A and B are shown apart, each in its own frame.
Chain A
């Protein structure tokens, strides 16, 4: 996994800039992002809401809202540059067939007037070329695969007859029914109960192995990530500011924003202590952002952070972070006290494995 040679690269985003036109103004939602996805891996994209996670993945499927457009950059998949796609015909080559998506809210993601069986079967027809009895059998198998019992009966039921968690399983079945190479899960558990979250995560993990999927896993909850991801990309204000293997980002994070995210994990706070929260607000995307976007909220900010945008600094072969703190001329800055113990422990644990 995470093997960095060219051959296993399945999707490559290069220097991507995405803008939206809104009431005569232009907002830059994705600010020059480059990111590779490797075959068979599970990549998590983490960041607070509004950081551009959904916009980034929507652009991969041509599902940007009408007022959004790719201003610059490439999205390479197989022999295609998806950023050049414009017609529906182009996108139909990708949607479902190559890349499928699980959306956030299972309560509204299903057509209320079609049986769940039919909604899954639609994909089976479209992308697996099966018809009639065969398609029906395959649909039943998919229902079983996502952990639904009594499938013949369930096939004929409507979405309102399922609970939230069950509906999310249906949505997942729909995505898997397309037989995609890449599965994008955009906050698949955010709308669900905590107890059900864990089950859905486990299910996604199982399906990934069963169907040999490459997954992109979006969340604003770092706590969820450790369970499912091989690699983590941290997003802030439309940029990826740190990327690395899960344990690298988790236990050796370099960007102060990553530190801040980790510090706000409830698991980290001592009992009775107030939860850590990041001060200030994210920058206004309508304005041009100078330097490091996080600088105004960053207690460790250097002068240069306000002037020049940091490039990616290499930490290891697989771990990169966009912070001037990694520059050889930068003063030595340690992560916050509360994190250091966590890092220590985590690293020890990671090496034991």
Chain B
């Protein structure tokens, strides 16, 4: 418990620093970002009034204090240019559902296919399935995603007669974005799983287990698989959390109204409060993901002592 408490404290502290830095940096941005589309038509006096009302003429520390007060109330401010006067939280929560759905779907799909694929590949190392899987992995890693996405759009849609664009009410249209998104992570899960399995299989304790008369299959399931999955457990929470950010490419390719393009749009339109809200959310996700990863490791790996502090790996 000590270990977890310590890691939690570290995470909160890191989060605090990051938020403060993001906040301060955005104060260095051009102030038009708070004025909206009408900025050019305003006199400098009018601009001053708006900025003062927003609290931007207060000392930086006071601004920071207010910002944190609002943050704890769950208020990220309102959008300036993107969708004027709509709360940032509303904008994000509308979009997040789409990204979350496809993101989690893709993670689930790639775990369900990638992990067993990696296990089978390790089990049949050097045989045809392993070769086939390796071919797939090399393909996905070597060929830019844009290329095979386009191939999917050009041919797969025709062959299976699947809709090209996303439509909330047509479930068939969910298939292609999901599979496209799962292609790369499936390959990497398969690759890591295979690698960790082969590592484990070469270890002495496997030889001893074999010598004591454990069946090869039992050996795979009870000893090797679990041990090989542990290094992956560390990265899984972060991977899952990051699906929230959405995939810019997939979302624009299939016209999914998700988070993917939001940050880019907000930056292009100089909407400071939306940018600030997004950066804050993304960085928190990263930190929470790392923390949960360490937590997961601590739970599954007895070598990490929960009682005392110390390095995790």
Give the B-binding residues of A (Cβ under 8 A): 61, 63, 88, 92, 94-97, 100-101, 103, 105, 108-115, 122-123, 126-127, 158, 160, 171, 174-175, 177-178
Residues of A within 8 A of B210 (CB): 63, 95
Q: How far is the CA of A229 from the CA of B216 in the complex (A)?
A: 34
- Interchain CB contact under 8 A, B215 and A61: no
- Interchain CB contact under 8 A, A103 and B207: yes
**With contact pairs A113-B301, A113-B302, A160-B303 given, residues A108 and B203 touching in the complex (Cβ less than 8 Å):** yes
The one of B211, B212, B226, B301 that contacts A122, using a Cβ cutoff of 8 Å: B212
Residues of A within 8 A of B230 (CB): 113
- Interchain CB contact under 8 A, A63 and B212: no
> B203-246 vs A: 1/0 string, CB under 8 Å?
11101111111111000000100110010000000000000000
Residues of B within 8 A of A114 (CB): 223
Residues of A within 8 A of B303 (CB): 112, 158, 160
Residues of A within 8 A of B205 (CB): 108-112
Q: How far is the CA of A101 from the CA of B212 in the complex (A)?
A: 7
Residues of A within 8 A of B208 (CB): 101, 103, 109-110, 171, 174
Residues of A within 8 A of B211 (CB): 61, 63, 95-96, 100-101, 103
Q: How far is the CA of A105 from the CA of B203 in the complex (A)?
A: 11
CB distance from A175 to the nearest CB of B (A): 7
**With contact pairs A113-B227, A113-B230, A113-B302 given, residues A108 and B204 touching in the complex (Cβ less than 8 Å):** yes
Residues of B within 8 A of A97 (CB): 213
Nearest residue in A to B208 (C-beta to C-beta)? A109
**With contact pairs A103-B204, A105-B204, A158-B302 given, residues A111 and B209 touching in the complex (Cβ less than 8 Å):** yes
Residues of B within 8 A of A175 (CB): 212
CB distance from A192 to the nearest CB of B (A): 15
Give the A-binding residues of B (Cβ under 8 A): 203-205, 207-216, 223, 226-227, 230, 300-303
The one of B204, B212, B300 that contacts A100, using a Cβ cutoff of 8 Å: B212
- Interchain CB contact under 8 A, A96 and B207: no
Among B209, B215, B223, chain A packs the most CB atoms within 10 A around the CB of B209
**With contact pairs A113-B227, A113-B301, A113-B302 given, residues A63 and B216 touching in the complex (Cβ less than 8 Å):** no
- Interchain CB contact under 8 A, A126 and B214: yes
**With contact pairs A111-B223, A112-B303, A158-B302 given, residues A96 and B213 touching in the complex (Cβ less than 8 Å):** yes
Q: How far is the CA of A108 from the CA of B209 in the complex (A)?
A: 12
The one of A105, A108, A158, A174 that contacts B212, using a Cβ cutoff of 8 Å: A174
Q: How far is the CA of A105 from the CA of B208 in the complex (A)?
A: 10
Residues of B within 8 A of A158 (CB): 302-303
CB distance from B231 to the nearest CB of A (A): 12
CB distance from B182 to the nearest CB of A (A): 29
Residues of B within 8 A of A92 (CB): 213, 215
Query: Apart from A92-B213, A103-B204, A114-B223, what are 17 other A-B pairs with CB-CB below 8 Å?
Result: A61-B211, A63-B207, A96-B211, A100-B212, A101-B211, A108-B204, A109-B205, A111-B205, A111-B209, A111-B223, A111-B227, A112-B303, A126-B212, A126-B213, A158-B302, A160-B302, A175-B212
- Interchain CB contact under 8 A, B212 and A123: yes
A-B contact pairs, 27 of them (CB 8 A): A92-B213, A92-B215, A95-B210, A96-B211, A96-B213, A96-B214, A100-B211, A100-B212, A103-B211, A108-B203, A109-B205, A110-B205, A111-B205, A111-B223, A112-B302, A113-B227, A113-B300, A113-B302, A115-B302, A122-B212, A122-B214, A123-B212, A123-B213, A127-B213, A158-B303, A174-B212, A175-B212
Residues of A within 8 A of B223 (CB): 111, 114
Q: How far is the CA of A127 from the CA of B212 in the complex (A)?
A: 9
Residues of A within 8 A of B301 (CB): 113
Q: How far is the CA of A92 from the CA of B217 in the complex (A)?
A: 12
Residues of A within 8 A of B302 (CB): 112-113, 115, 158, 160
CB distance from B173 to the nearest CB of A (A): 43
Q: How far is the CA of A63 from the CA of B223 in the complex (A)?
A: 18
Q: How far is the CA of A112 from the CA of B228 in the complex (A)?
A: 12
Nearest residue in B to A175 (C-beta to C-beta)? B212
Nearest residue in A to B227 (C-beta to C-beta)? A113
Q: How far is the CA of A238 from the CA of B215 in the complex (A)?
A: 30
Residues of B within 8 A of A88 (CB): 215-216
Residues of B within 8 A of A160 (CB): 302-303
Per CB-CB distance, the 5 closest pairs between chain A and chain B, nearest first, are A96-B213, A95-B213, A108-B204, A96-B212, A158-B302
